[in-house]
Amino acid sequence: PGPAMAGTAEITVEILRQGSSLSTARAALAQGGEVKAHVVGVVAATRRGSGPLAWQELAAPVVAPWSTIEPLVTSDGWPEFASNMEYRVIEGLPTSGATHTLGWVRPRLPGGLRDVGHIAALMDAWWPVALSRLPAIRPMATIVYSLDVVAGIDGLDPESPVLYRATSAVMADGYCLETRELWGEDGRLIAINHQTIAIIA
């Protein structure tokens, strides 16, 4: 199936499991009787135990404050949605040869709702690492997307951007495996995202 197009679509939701501390649901978006996208979501409560059930070995990148970095100009040649975001790039412009991407990102008009959808949009707003590594722009499509919210964004300044970092250790047979992170100004790990991206010939 091709991508979802502008216009009407039907979304169906099915609860796969509903428990006291963990629930799983599936949703599908269809147009013209064809499924264009589907998602499985898991919502879980905090797990309690006799000792600490947490650790974090990832360290926040050490970077310049966002206010000292000029916003990227996104005009001719950029996707239309990029005009809704503000990018302050530290490393990894498209076709630069960089092996990772790093920078600050936020919506130009933040709005009031800062939920998981907001986090997912921030995570997916940046271009794939493959666009930075390859010598020329190539069309690409995300075929697998998983998002794990770690600390969330509650309590962060809604006017401030979040720090984005992405790496890609492997690309084979035209498929790129990418790991993305969002960090708060206070050093918290907001979320981690894994994507499989198909490079289109």
CATH number at residue 120: 2.40.160.210
Same structural domain for residues 95 and 160?
yes
Q: Is the same domain home to 18 and 93?
A: no
Q: What pLDDT band is residue 1 in, cutting at 50, 70 and 90?
A: low
Same domain, 82 and 180: yes
Q: What is the pLDDT of residues 57-103, one digit of tens each?
A: 999 999 999 999 999 988 778 888 888 999 999 999 999 999 999 99
24 and 98 share a domain? no
pTM of the model as a whole: 0.88
Domain holding 103, by residue range, is 65-199
Contact 140, 190 (CB under 8 A): no
Cα 63 to Cα 188: distance, rounded to the nearest angstrom: 14
pLDDT band at 54 (very low <50, low <70, confident <90, very high): confident
Residues 12-17 have a mean pLDDT of 95
Q: How many domains does the chain have?
A: 2
Give the pLDDT mean for 152-180. 95
Whether residue 57 is contained in a domain is answered as no
Give whole-number Cα distances, 12 to 8, 102, 115, in Å: 13, 36, 21
Count the Cβ atoms, other than its own, within 10 Å of residue 32.
Answer: 11
Position 111 scores a pLDDT of 74
